[in-house]
Structures are given as C-alpha cells and as structure tokens.
Structure 1
Amino acid sequence: MQTKKTATNKILWIFAVGQLGWSLLSGIIANWLVFFYQPSSEELDKGQLLFIPKGTFIGLTAIGIITAFGRIFDAVTDPYIAGKSDSLKHRLGRRIPFMRFAAIPFGVVTVLMFVSPFGEKSMGNAVFLFVFAMMFYFCMTCYCTPYNALIPELGSTQNTRINLSTFISVTYFFGTAIAYLVPNIAGIFMNSLGYAASFRVTIAILAAVAVICMLVPAFLIDENLYADTTPSKSTAFKSLLATFRNKDFRVFVCSDILYWIGLTLFQTGLSFYITVLLGLDSGMTFPLFAIMTVVSLAFYPLVNIFSKKMGKKKLIAFAFLFFSFAFLVTAAAGLIGIPAMVYGVIIAVLAAVPMAILGILPQAVVADISEADKLDTGESRQGMFYAARTFAFKLGQSLAMLMFTSIALINSDAEKGSSGYGLGYRLTALLAAVLCLLGGLVFLRYNEKKVINRIEEGSKNA
C-alpha cells in the first residue's frame, strides 16, 4: 500500500480556493434571494418588482416555504451523497469525481434562481423558483459534502487540521464578502438594464468566477496522494446511524443547530438591518461586511495560535457568548442616538471576533471527532460525519428561513419613522441572540479531552 503524503500548505491553499467558490454561490443565495423576492418598501421604490405572491399561507410566505423546503431537501440528500462518496471506487478517488461533476451545474442553477419568466406576483415564478431551488441545493450537496470530507483527510495532523480550517475560513470570508458586492456591482448596470436585470447580470458574472474557483482543487489536487481512498462498506443509512451514535458528535451537532439557526436569521436579516433599521443604502452592506472581514482576519493568527495552546472548546464557547451579545446590539439598531454608519461599524467589529473563532474551529472539531471515531471503529467515514453535520444544521437553516420570513412581516405595515417600524426585523436579531447563547451552553458538554487523548493514543500506536 502506498504511503500517503502529508499535504503542504500550498496544497491546503489550493484546496481552500474551492471554498471561495462555493461560499460565493451560497452567499448570493443566503443574502440576496429573500432580498430579491421579498423586497422592502425601499427597494420597491428603486424599481424592484414583486415576482412572486406576497401573501402568506398559515403564516408562512412563499419565499420562506421555498427556501425552507430547499434546505430540507438539501439536508436529506446530504447523507445519501456522503454514503455514495464514502463508498465510491474510482481512479480519481472518492471525492474529486463528485466535485468535478457538480461545479458547473452548481453555478448555472444559482443564476437561474433569479430568473422570473412570468409577470408580477405570478405563481408560475414561484414554481420556477422552487424547481431550481431544489436543483441548487442538490448541486451544492454534490460538491460540498465530498469537499468537506477531504478536510480531515488532507489535515492528517492537529497542526495541518487547524491550518486547513484557518485557510478555508479565510477563503469562506472572501467568498461571502464578494457575494455582498451584488448591489454595488448591480448599480453599474442599473440605469441601462433596470433593477432586476442588473441583479441577474451581476449574479451571472459572480457565478462564473465561483465555478472557476471550485474547479481549481478538483483538477489540481491528486486525492490518491494524500487521502485514504478505500471505499466504506456500510450503506448510507447504517453509516449515518453509526455516526449519530457518537456522543461527542451529538453534543456538537445540537449546539451547531442552535448556532446555525441564529446565524442564518442574522445573515438573512443583515441587508434589512442595514436598510430598514439603520436607514442606510443597500450598497453599504459590502463596506460594513468588509470591515467585519478585515477585523476578523486580524484575529485569525491569534485563533490559530491559542487553539493549539488551550484547545478549541474554550474558544468556541466564548465565541457563542460574544456572538449573542453582538446580536443583541443589532436588535437595538436605530433605537440609540448613535449615527447609523457608526452603529453599523460597531456591529461589524463586535461580530468579527466570534466570526474568526467559529469560522475556523468547528470544522476542526468535526475532523477531530471523525478521526477518533475512525480509530475506535476501524472504518473511514469522514464524508458521513460532515454530511451528518450539514444534515442537522441545514434542517436548522430551514427552520430559520421559515422563522425569518414570517417574523419579518410582524408590524410590516407600520409607517416609516413610526415607533414600530422594522419590529419584525428587530425580533429576528433578538431571537438569534437567544439561540446562540443556548448553543454555547450545550457545547460546554463536549468532551474535548477524551477525543484528543484518543487521537494521540492512536498516533503513538501507528
């Protein structure tokens, strides 16, 4: 059997470029889909149209139902694709073939989600969006689940694992930051193309960039040199059940679900917090996110160093608490006599610290747990561990989308400038703070010492 190489930092950075691509596409959907299809009065005044019906069904909006169902479909297909990836026998390995297959369709369907072939408030547009939303999430699963499964395989030691988590967090931030540029770039085309068309052209350009990035690791990394490509013999369902039998993983997943519900509420609402609560133009979303990104990146070296010295658990628990405080501050946006831009900067800086920690360490925690489980069971199921994680938090994201689009409608008829204006958006930030705090309390039950000791014991016996 050929000895596997330890991935160099160059290989880890090549791998991280793929994250930039898929996070750009994910960021476009997470930040602008609801903004596009459930526009605020400010955006309607700029020329945006209502492409799908605005009414509610049992309190749920059409866009909320579509995005939530898409996430549920995404979550359900994760274990299936993970099982197929873990058990794949292919000359290129278990992960790379999926990544090559999914990248281009992933970019194409992202663009098609913003195409509305029918007139205003048409149910036909809602059906069209539903179909391509399902395709988007399936393509996302086909790329991201095998991609994430390579993390513990390329990160074969504690140091490389943390380094890789750091690198992909950096590219994730850049991908998300570029996604926030959508209204800024669209502004270039606004006068000639109109509101909706300018968004579509912008998203098409960014999707092309994203596809190129996703293909970089798919063609430049030889999986056979660095990863264990031995196919798993378990079926997808049995592998999923075995994964959830791991107690430490269950604790992690429970905290992760709460975190992702809160974070999704915040991310979906960010453009609304800026335009409605603070009264700024949507084009200010990118500068504020850029500030948060720069400050967050400044903390990356410290997170990398301190996590190696004091472990991941303490830093993650602290990040949960800090994020909760940042969300509370967001909920009070526009109520305190501080200039809007200054208040936006305060929120960005506060969110930067936990973003740095939670952008790096959770992926490394899953890698630790999967590695310890491999030593205990003798079976390599990294793909299923990452799929099980995404299966759980995507269900949480589905719930968050339903919650946000419905809660946002609370007092939505209030006149601009009145005391209750933007109450629904404010409540979403408050709920995000509560959920993030609960997630931190749950994570304190994670037994990091036991997991690390098992990995160290396995290394000594290797």
Structure 2
Amino acid sequence: MKKITNKILWIFAVGQFGWSLLSGIISSWMVYYYTGENAVFSSYITTNPLFLGLTLFGIITAVGRVFDAVTDPLIAGWSDASNFKGGRRIPFMKAVAVPFAAITVGVFALPQTSNTALNDVILFITLILFYLFMTVYCTPYNALIAELGNTQKNRINVSTYISFTYIAGFSVAYLLPNLAGMFTSMSEANAVRLAIAILAAIAAIAMLVPSFCIKEREYIASVPVKTKAFSSLFKSFKNRQFRRFVYSDIIYFFAVTLFQTGLAFYITRLMHADEENSFVLTVMMTVVSLCLYPAVNKLAPKFGKKKIVVAGFFAYAAVFLITVFCGEGMGWGYLIAVMAGVPMAILGILPQAVVADIAEADAAETGEQRNGMFFAARTFAMKMGQAIALLAFTSITVSQTELSYRITAIVATVCCLIGAVLFLFYNEKQVMDTIVAANKNKESAESETAEENAAQSSAEESGE
C-alpha cells in the first residue's frame, strides 16, 4: 500500500467542498426563495399550510426522512460489500457526482408549470432525488474518512481539511444572491436559476476531483463485508458509544440547520439589512474558524475530543441566544459571525474524527470493517436533523413575524444545550483504550511474523 500523504488528504477534501456547496444551496436558499416576503418562486407552489399546520416543505422533508431510513443503510451496505476494481467507495462517487449537481438545479428550475399541484409534485420528486444522490455520494465519501485516516494524525488532519472545505462550500453557497444580481438583463427568477447552475457546475467538478485523482486500491486494503445492509445497521446501533454520539449529532444538525436556514431572514427581518450580507457574515465566520483550526488540532490530543466538542455545543448555544435578542444594524451580525467561528471550528473537525474512532474500535472488536455503515448512520442523522429543522422552521415562521424568527433561535439555543448534555455520556476513554490495545496487538503480531520470517530465512541460508 502507498503511504497516505497530506496531498492525498487535500485532494480528498475537495470533494467535500462540492457536496457542501450543493447542500448549502438547498438548506440556505430553498425556503428563502420559495416562501416569505422575498420569495421569487412562491407563485409556483403551495405556500400555505396543507395539513395539521404543516407546509409543503415540512411534508416533503418528513416523507424524505422515511425514504432515507431505507436508502441510507442500503447504500452503505452496498458500498461496504462491494468489490469493484476501483475500490469500495470511489466508483459510487464517480457515478453520481454529475446527477447530484444537476438535480440541485432541478429543484429550482423544474417546478415552473402553470399547474400549482403539478409543481408541488415535481418539487417533491426533485427533493427526494436530491437526498438520494446526496446519500449515494456522501456515504462512501464519509467512509473514506476512517480509511484514509489510518492513524490518529491522519484522522485529525483529514477531519481538519474536510472541515475547511465544508465551510468553504457553504460560504460560496451564500454568494448566490450576489451572483444572481450580476445578471441584470434577466428576470430575478431566471437570474437565481442561472446562478444556481453555475455554482452546481463548480460543485460537480469539485466532487469529481477525488473520484479521478485518488486510486483507492493503491492506498486502502479493504475486505468486502458479508453482513447484509440492515443487519450491519443494526450491529452499528448496538454499539453503545455510537448511539450516544448519534443522539447528540441529530440535535447538532437540527440546531445548525435552523440557524443556516434562518440566517438570511435574521439579516433581513431582524437586523433590517440586505440579504447580500449573508456572504459577508459567512466569510467572517469562516476566517475566524480557520484561525482556530490549529488550536483545535493541538487541544484535541491534549484534552480529548469529548471535552472540546461539549464546549463547542455551549459556544453555539451562546451564539443562538444572542440571535434571539439581536436588533437593527449589522453590528449584531458581525458579533454573531465572530462568535460562531469558535463552534464552527470545533464541531466542523472533531465529530468526524469521533465517528472514525468508533468505527476503528468496533472493527477491532468485531473483525468487520463497517466504516460505510457508521458514516451512513451519521449521514442519516445529519439529514434527519436538517429535515426536522426545515419542518420546524417553516411551521414556526408561517406567520412571518419577527417574533417567529426569534423563536427559531430560542429553539436552536435549547437544542444545543441538550446536545451538550447528551454527549457527556459518550465514553471516549473506552473507545481510545480499545484502539490502543488493538494497535499494540497488531504491532506485536507483525513483529512476531517478521522474526519468524527472519528465522526461516536464516535457516534456509544455513541449509544451503
């Protein structure tokens, strides 16, 4: 096997930029452009509550999560069990990158017939396909985090690099209104669609970079898993430490998605500023976060990932609490952006490394490399949190009052505090002790094998 270098890890991280850019377009701008005072597509779909106070987006996301409950473990199982010439992960990523980008454009471009009910159906189908393609790309991609992060150093490094590209992707997504504003000769709706198409094309190229530049078989010696998909998923959730992590992770993604979805509204409705400021604030968050990356990398080995992750939850809670009370003027936005950079750095890096630790410890105990399934479960947690957040946000803000937007920030604050408490139950020491013991046994076995080979060679030479 070739040595896994930082160059390979950076090439791998480019793929994260691509899919996070697509995810950012949907989570940050879909609700904004389809509903509310600034909507440009509201005439195409049903915007009023349809059933028990649920909006169209709420119903779509609820159904989508049921769909994900089936597809996530299936894709993970197929990836873990596959034996393609190109590896267990890369072939999936290569096949779906372009369709993933194309369907993102379709979410905004296809539901534009004169029939509102038909548009609702088209939007439903395109969003379901969006989440399916996200699963097909992200599940194998995330499994590579543990496999390329074959040492604690590589694991922290790859988690840091993909955190950077994840934030970069989301930051570029916030450029959408700025980019659309450049096409003054078009209608606002078509300008938005063209801007999305340009960003999606960039995302597709980024997602294909690791697919074509990393030869998986040259770096990873993987053995296909024989356990069936849902049995493998059940085994993953039998892992007590993984369950504790996932509970807090769902809460994390719920709270963060509430904030990301609401950011444009917080700026326009609470701070009474222009939506283009979304990009400015995102850049500020990114810069602060990047400045803190070295500190997170140094503090994690010293204090452990658990303590720092809990601190990240509390930091996010403080950010959301300030949002609850923010008033007119971008001064509030700058304060929020600077403070948000702290938890972004922490929770952008360490949770991925925690999952990789759990997967490695589980492999040491069971003998099965089910990295794909562990990261599929995390992908499902991410989408579950995002879905519930979209459901909650669109339902809470149906009145479009300032108070309704402040309530979303209150909910996010409370959820971050709950997430911190839940993660306190994660036993990091037990997981790391298992990994250390397994590595010692592996080194001992390799040493014995080397000694036996040396003795055999010596005996053969003596016989000659």
TM-score > 0.5 by shorter chain: yes
Matched with 1:184 is 178
Distance 1:75 1:263, change over 3 A: farther
Distance in 1, Cα, partners of 2:41 & 2:231: 48
1:319 pairs with 306, 312, 317, which one?
Answer: 312
Question: Larger deviation: 173-182 or 118-127?
Answer: 118-127
Matched with 1:237 is 230
| 1:157-236 mapped onto 2 (5 Å cutoff) | 157-189=151-183, 191-236=184-229
Matched with 1:292 is 285
Structure 1 counterpart SS, 2:360: helix
Matched with 2:425 is 445
| CA offset digits 1:295-332 (Å, max 9, x no partner) | 11100110011112221011000010110111011111
In the alignment, residue 62 of structure 1 is paired with which amino acid? Answer: L
Shift of 1:121: 7.7
Distance in 2, Cα, partners of 1:282 & 1:71: 30
Distance in 2, Cα, partners of 1:37 & 1:121: 16
1:454 and 2:434 matched:
yes
Matched with 1:248 is 241
Matched with 2:385 is 396
Structure 1 counterpart SS, 2:266: helix
Shift of 1:64: 2.4
1:81 pairs with 70, 75, 88, which one?
Answer: 75
Matched with 1:90 is 84
Distance in 1, Cα, partners of 2:63 & 2:386: 10
In the alignment, residue 136 of structure 1 is paired with which amino acid? Answer: F
Matched with 2:398 is 409
1:359 and 2:353 matched:
no
Task: Please report the RMSD computed on the Cα atoms of aligned residues, expressed in angstroms.
Answer: 1.4
Matched with 1:308 is 301
| CA offset digits 1:368-388 (Å, max 9, x no partner) | 000000000000000000011
Shift of 1:157: 0.5
1:130 and 2:124 matched:
yes
Query: Which runs of 5 or more residues in structure 2 are unaligned?
Result: 443-464
Structure 1 counterpart SS, 2:109: coil
- Percent identity between the two aligned chains: 55
Q: What is the number of residues matched between the two proteins?
A: 441
Distance in 2, Cα, partners of 1:223 & 1:444: 36
| CA offset digits 1:204-246 (Å, max 9, x no partner) | 0011110010000001101112223210000001100000010
Q: Is the 8 A contact 2:236 2:373 kept in 1?
A: yes
Matched with 2:416 is 436
Shift of 1:35: 0.7
In the alignment, residue 250 of structure 2 is paired with which amino acid? Answer: I
Distance in 1, Cα, partners of 2:191 & 2:333: 26
Matched with 2:453 is none
Q: Which has the larger radius of gyration?
A: 2
Question: Larger deviation: 119-128 or 371-380?
Answer: 119-128
Distance in 2, Cα, partners of 1:266 & 1:70: 21
Matched with 1:415 is none
Q: Is the 8 A contact 1:72 1:398 kept in 2?
A: no
Matched with 1:417 is none
Distance in 1, Cα, partners of 2:105 & 2:278: 21
Query: Which runs of 5 or more residues in structure 1 are unaligned?
Result: 413-420
Distance in 2, Cα, partners of 1:118 & 1:449: 54
Question: Larger deviation: 121-130 or 162-171?
Answer: 121-130
In the alignment, residue 271 of structure 1 is paired with which amino acid? Answer: A
Matched with 1:6 is 3
| CA offset digits 1:134-175 (Å, max 9, x no partner) | 111111111100000000100000111000000000000111
Matched with 1:382 is 371
| 1:119-158 mapped onto 2 (5 Å cutoff) | 119=113, 122-158=116-152
| CA offset digits 1:86-133 (Å, max 9, x no partner) | 000111110011001010100110001001454578122111111111
Matched with 1:416 is none
In the alignment, residue 90 of structure 1 is paired with which amino acid? Answer: F
Distance in 1, Cα, partners of 2:254 & 2:32: 18
Distance 1:116 1:101, change over 3 A: closer
In the alignment, residue 251 of structure 1 is paired with which amino acid? Answer: R
Structure 2 counterpart SS, 1:282: coil
In the alignment, residue 237 of structure 1 is paired with which amino acid? Answer: F
Q: Is the 8 A contact 1:253 1:393 kept in 2?
A: no
1:62 and 2:56 matched:
yes
1:425 and 2:405 matched:
yes
Question: Larger deviation: 90-99 or 68-77?
Answer: 68-77
Matched with 2:256 is 263
Q: Is the 8 A contact 1:239 1:381 kept in 2?
A: yes
After the TM superposition, list the runs of 4 or more consecutive aligned residues in structure 1 that deviate by more than 3 angstroms: 116-121
Structure 2 counterpart SS, 1:114: helix
Structure 2 counterpart SS, 1:297: helix
Q: Is the 8 A contact 2:135 2:379 kept in 1?
A: no
TM-score (norm 2): 0.93
Distance in 2, Cα, partners of 1:323 & 1:120: 43
Shift of 1:409: 1.5
Structure 2 counterpart SS, 1:307: helix
Structure 2 counterpart SS, 1:389: helix
Shift of 1:76: 3.0
Q: Is the 8 A contact 1:324 1:434 kept in 2?
A: yes
Q: Is the 8 A contact 1:37 1:63 kept in 2?
A: no
1:349 pairs with 338, 356, 372, which one?
Answer: 338
